[in-house]
Structure 1
């Protein structure tokens, strides 16, 4: 017979879960920056005082959300394992389908957005969210369990988990786009293909055609921003880049840039009238730094923590603000474009010969880089990563 204490504990747990799920729903609608005790209280239909009493302050609420996400990811994983009913996905030839479906799964959308937002927060302040590492582990454990009977399954699971970390925000943003879905499918095939097998020329060309078609809408705007290399406008762009690196895309405004650059806000608005103009300028400044680092073989893989975070922030921001969509798409393309020769050398293949695999490895490195940043670690320098790839690329993950 259930005791009164047990019933009270169950009601408390149920009430707390309802608050946490309301908080997760707010994050899915507004992003983590839009979540406060007040917005959660409104969504949950409770008072702010009730949340404070049950959970604590906003920081405690975010920590509790991480715990809730770990539970939810584990539950999703168990459900999927049950659906497979013991079928070995590699032997059955369905692993690429499972990866794409995992990224697209409708009932995972809220969880996926929340996970991406938590990862970004932890990448900037690892000590504030140490449990995000366990959230990443829960995702990898699913793939490990799925591939438990597959030779080399643990290494493949780590590679898939790392790739999914990087691909997830783009799937949230672009899953309705046919070119994107085809491109993602090509990338997944490149990720899983046998090491000794090269993509044929037509496949590689098809992959790049999809890349260009997907990125075409952003070309004109970004080409215009890329031409800014000197003068006051370029100086402001460098300050914009510093703000993005330190505070994230969400912090960008004329006032913030004016304060950072000790320049009048009216001057900022003259050079960069809209928030989108500000973002493009900052991104180009970051990419100029990235290219310089790559040329000097001293940057971080590939492009450093700032590029990893910026890419994910842009994709997530575009979910709520479509003006950022072309830019987020172009970010996905240019990360690989800037390092594809180095990655190809690391894989021991001719440049331009296997773009699907290079794209996949870049994304897996990016995902692993975000995971390392969230754990308070530094992604491998570019030169070291290429050497590691050449020796045994699985060790990078």
Structure 2
């Protein structure tokens, strides 16, 4: 039975599904759990909704309708503002991210989880691609009439796509909000030379101040890349990417690595130790490119990093104990992308805040292309940002 002809009880089922996704992620979604949460039998569920694919489609439809309503409201706000003023545009970006993440976390988490799944397999949630396109269209429309507005709007949309999961996970954290404000301000100013003042002046000190609160990862794998310890860490990275953070247990890692449980526990005593090692393995695996056209292995590593870090950050939005990992990943965002970002500045190197804005824009664009089933083209986005920076004042 097509979703359009289902009974009026279907919205209750969709609400139950969103609640479960918010609690356990998309991988924790089961028809039996949804039916129990909604207070209906599996037979009634099948009649009203259909199968799991129909349920996922309904979640996307609901998210798309909410997104349309919010974009209409934000378009009206944008029309009242002078978005040629970087300070005004930066304020709009911050407000947009907050409203997308904080008032209705279940919708936001569900949409982010669906995008993550589409990044792994675009055929699993093909409708998510329309939401990606809608966000780009919104920002391009908001900056219509501003010189360079189309390219600037596309860049902002991709930056928001990378920043939103962090706002979901650590949006109330004051250090994160200052960091985000600095980065969005530099993007709003088209990555232009900042001189010695403004957010650019204290950005690196702000990042350093977050070190004490973030997870301490000392790159222990870099000097011992062929050890059993490093191979176990690489297994953790694969599990995070393929199955999400919830899959990371000592038993699961041991089984995937073909090692005894005692060996895994010897090298990584706690689950936090496993997660630290997995994240670091991802970072190490994504480096090695020294040009704007990375080789195939570096491209695969970069795509894996995008998916795995997003999975970890979304898990932190549900589990407070994982938030230090989200803080760590956010302060280091784009750390491995120096070779891609450097050409954007030309003969005038980007300051640290602008470099992170550029890296997050490239990352967001890469993830968006994954959800659309397209190959990420980081060099194209870097070129767009270079033209944006060199554009008219």
Mark yes or no: TM-score above 0.5. yes
**Relative to 1, partners in 2 of residues 1:205 and 1:91: Cα closer, same or farther, differing over 3 Å?**
closer
Q: Which has the higher helix share?
A: 1
Indicate which of 347, 357, 360 corresponds to 1:360. Answer: 357
**Relative to 1, partners in 2 of residues 1:46 and 1:233: Cα closer, same or farther, differing over 3 Å?**
same
1:166 aligns with 2:162: yes
Contact 2:162 2:360 in 1 (8 A): yes
Contact 1:165 1:367 in 2 (8 A): yes
Equivalent residues in 2 for 1:166-245 (5 A)? 166-194=162-190, 197-202=192-197, 203-218=199-214, 220-223=216-219, 229-245=225-241
Cα drift, residue 13 of structure 1: 5.7
Cα drift, residue 390 of structure 1: 8.0
Equivalent residues in 2 for 1:126-145 (5 A)? 126-145=122-141
Cα drift, residue 37 of structure 1: 2.0
Bigger mean CA deviation after superposition, 144-153 or 216-225? 216-225
Q: In 1, distance between residues paired with 2:108 and 2:153? A: 18
Contact 1:222 1:280 in 2 (8 A): no
Q: In 2, distance between residues paired with 1:86 and 1:221? A: 45
Equivalent residues in 2 for 1:18-37 (5 A)? 18-37=12-31
SS in 2 for 1:128: coil
Q: In 2, distance between residues paired with 1:44 and 1:374? A: 30
Indicate which of 320, 323, 327 corresponds to 1:322. Answer: 320
Contact 2:169 2:318 in 1 (8 A): no
Name structure 2 gaps, 5 residues minimum: none
Q: In 1, distance between residues paired with 2:309 and 2:170? A: 14
Q: How many residues matched?
A: 381
After TM superposition, the score normalised by the length of structure 1 is 0.86
User: What RMSD over aligned residues (CA atoms) do the two structures have, in Å?
Assistant: 2.9
1:38 aligns with 2:32: yes
1:69 aligns with 2:66: no
1:90 aligns with 2:121: no
Give the match for residue 6 of structure 1: none
After TM superposition, the score normalised by the length of structure 2 is 0.86
SS in 1 for 2:123: helix
**Relative to 1, partners in 2 of residues 1:346 and 1:373: Cα closer, same or farther, differing over 3 Å?**
same
Cα drift, residue 31 of structure 1: 1.9
Cα drift, residue 278 of structure 1: 1.4
Contact 2:22 2:318 in 1 (8 A): no
Q: In 2, distance between residues paired with 1:85 and 1:178? A: 26
Name structure 1 gaps, 5 residues minimum: 1-8
**Relative to 1, partners in 2 of residues 1:391 and 1:89: Cα closer, same or farther, differing over 3 Å?**
closer
